[in-house]
Structure 1
Amino acid sequence: MAVIVAGKLYVDPEERDRFIEGHRAIVEAARGHPGCLDLSISPDPLEPGRVNNFEYWESHEALEAFRAAAPRPSVSIEFRDAQVFKHEISHTGPPFD
């Protein structure tokens, strides 16, 4: 069963770009990891301190295998808030039926 991890994180607005850059190695490693269909850590276009997180994995096992071997962020920046959830996907289809 496919898995999506998605949500939003909040950091100090002046730290957001450094936070995203500090996670670049994780994004690069994940996208090359077996079972990763997509992964993005990106700035929100409307909220200065918001970071959007999106991960799409073939399975829970692929996600856990990556987490066990993933590089660590190159920065340590504290979250103000985090609202990130894991979703198990039972069906996938076109977005506009």
Structure 2
Amino acid sequence: MALIIAGKVYVDPSERDRFVAGHQDLVEQARRYPGCLDLSISPDPTEPGRVNIFEHWESQEALDAWRAIAPAPSGSVAIADDHVRKHEISRSGHPFG
């Protein structure tokens, strides 16, 4: 069963760009990893301290295998609050029809 992990985290607005940049290597490696369909960690365009998280995995097994070897982010930025959830996908289709 495919998975989506999505949501938002909040960091100090002055640290947001450093937080995102610190995950760049992780994002690049994950996108090349077998079973990763997409992954993005990006600054929100309207909320200064918000970072949007999106991951799409073929399966829980692929995600678990990635997490076992995933590099740690460079730098350390404290997360003030998070609203990230894992969703198990039972069905997918075109969103506009």
* TM-superposed deviation, 1:7: 0.4
Partner amino acid, structure 1, of 2:56: Y
Deviations 1:34-68 (A, max 9, x none): 00000000000000000000000000100010000
* TM-superposed deviation, 1:86: 0.3
2:81 is matched with which residue?
Answer: 81
Alignment of 1:30-69 (within 5 A): 30-69=30-69
Cα RMSD after superposing both structures = 0.4
Identity %: 67
TM-score (norm. length: structure 1): 0.99
Partner amino acid, structure 1, of 2:72: R
Q: What are the ranges of 5 or more consecutive residues in structure 1 without an aligned counterpart? A: none
Q: What are the ranges of 5 or more consecutive residues in structure 2 without an aligned counterpart? A: none
TM-score (norm. length: structure 2): 0.99
The count of residues paired between Structure 1 and Structure 2 equals: 97
Moved over 4 A (4+): none
